[in-house]
Amino acid sequence: MRRVTLFVNGTSTNGKVVAVYGSLEDLMSVASSKLGIRASSVYNGNGGLIDDITLIRDDDVLYISEGDSFEDPQEDFNGPEKGQTHTDWLTLNVGGRCFTTTRSTVVSKEPESMLAHMFREKDVWGNKQDSQGAYLIDRSPDYFEPILNYLRHGQLIINEGINPLGVLEEARFFGIEQLAEQLETLIKSSQPPDDHSPLTRKEFIRFLLTTTTKSELRCQAANLQGVKMLCTNAEGASLRGCNFEDPAGIKANLEGANLKGVDMEGSQMTGINLRVATLKNAKLKNCNLRGATLAGTDLENCDLSGCDLQEANLRGSNVKGAIFEEMLTPLHMSQSVR
């Protein structure tokens, strides 16, 4: 979609901003309706007759006639204000880089923004200009470019290498609220989870489903109360300090899960069901496994030092090479493992 400003031939006031769709005849129909004339010819700002819709560019200023020849609208002006209207072209010098646009572009999309107020009424803000007449704005040009493009066509497009946080700060500075909201959503959705922030049970399960390489899964201090992940594949994941204990008494269920090489050091797992799960080479140091079901679990070479296994069921589990230092006495072990 392209957007243009239409004037009656020979004038530069009471213009109408319209969208360009379809053919040249469609544009004439819209012009007739908006300007109250019988449009039959369209000219560009230099007086060139336009006979092909593809020649019209976004933000063009066009003059519509009823068949008469082009009349220069600037001939109606005298003095230093000649040719300066609310829809003429502007050049903005942003941080040393120049951008050319129209006044309607910076005013129409976000009419309540600071940028719109700066250029809605001429010289109300006392905008400073450089030697070439470009308006000086002391902001970052890299972050301003996506903002200007948003005002042109309404789409948020950020080139590779441009930090969205910088664009967000510029959007806030210029008071472009709708764009700021889009940027906040974009930034939030693109941020990876903080390894040190507690995760919810739903977030953890979503990560398991979407992470193809489980060794990349890092969910330290995750809140996994009463989670149900039967036969889940979390091989090589880091789940240090996670809480599987539900105050309501719902037991976490990881029966048959592949937890080979998983790091669950310091996790709270009272009553957890790890029946026939694979924990080969896993790190369960200092875990609370009181009342846990570990029947038939593969604990080969598993580090269980410092664990609380009181009332845990280890019947039929494979504890070959497992480390039980500072855990249970040989008597307790002989009672638990069958």
Q: What is the pLDDT of residues 210-262, one digit of tens each?
A: 544 444 556 666 778 778 877 778 888 888 888 888 776 778 888 888 889 99
Do 294 and 250 sit in the same domain of this protein? yes
Do 10 and 40 sit in the same domain of this protein? yes
pLDDT at res. 59: 82
> Sorting pLDDT into bands at 50, 70 and 90, what band is 89?
confident
Question: Which two tokens mark 93?
Answer: 């010098």
Q: Where is the domain boundary, 150, 166, 190?
A: 190
**φ/ψ of residue 80, rounded to 5:** -70, -15
* Contact predicate 220/196, CB 8 Å: yes
Max Cα separation, the chain? Answer: 108
Tell me how far apart the alpha carbons of residues 69 and 101 are, in angstroms, rounded to a whole number: 27
Supply the CATH number for residue 160's domain. Answer: 3.30.710.10
Do 8 and 122 sit in the same domain of this protein? no
Asked if residue 326 belongs to a domain, the reply is yes
Do 217 and 162 sit in the same domain of this protein? no
Asked if residue 77 belongs to a domain, the reply is no
Instruction: Look over the chain and give the mean of its residue pLDDT values, rounded to a whole number.
Output: 81
Asked if residue 166 belongs to a domain, the reply is yes
Going across the sheet that includes 61-65, the strands are 16-20, 2-8, 61-65, 41-43
Do 285 and 330 sit in the same domain of this protein? yes
Asked if residue 31 belongs to a domain, the reply is yes
> Sorting pLDDT into bands at 50, 70 and 90, what band is 301?
very high
pLDDT at res. 213: 47
Do 267 and 140 sit in the same domain of this protein? no
pLDDT at res. 332: 40
pLDDT, tens only, 119-170:
876 654 567 888 888 889 999 999 999 999 999 888 899 988 899 999 999 9
Do 156 and 227 sit in the same domain of this protein? no
Asked if residue 75 belongs to a domain, the reply is no
Q: Residue 210, class by beta-carbon neighbours within 10 Å (0-12 exposed, 13-18 middle, 19+ buried)?
A: exposed
Tell me how far apart the alpha carbons of residues 42 and 52 are, in angstroms, rounded to a whole number: 10
Do 329 and 223 sit in the same domain of this protein? yes
Of 251, 220, 250, 216, the C-alpha closest to 234 is: 216
For residues 206 and 265, the model is more confident at 265
The domain tally of the chain equals 3
Asked if residue 72 belongs to a domain, the reply is no
Average pLDDT over residues 267-276: 91
Question: Residue for token digits 């803000």?
Answer: 125
pLDDT, tens only, 94-113:
999 999 998 888 888 888 88
Q: Range of 238's domain?
A: 196-337
Q: Is the pLDDT of residue 114 over 90?
A: no
Q: Is the pLDDT of residue 72 over 90?
A: no
Q: Which of 62-71, 78-87, 191-200, 240-249 has the lowest mean pLDDT?
A: 78-87
Supply the CATH number for residue 37's domain. Answer: 3.10.20.10
Tell me how far apart the alpha carbons of residues 150 and 233 are, in angstroms, rounded to a whole number: 44
pLDDT, tens only, 172-211:
999 999 999 999 988 887 765 544 444 455 555 555 555 4
For residues 47 and 1, the model is more confident at 47
Average pLDDT over residues 302-313: 90
Do 185 and 214 sit in the same domain of this protein? no
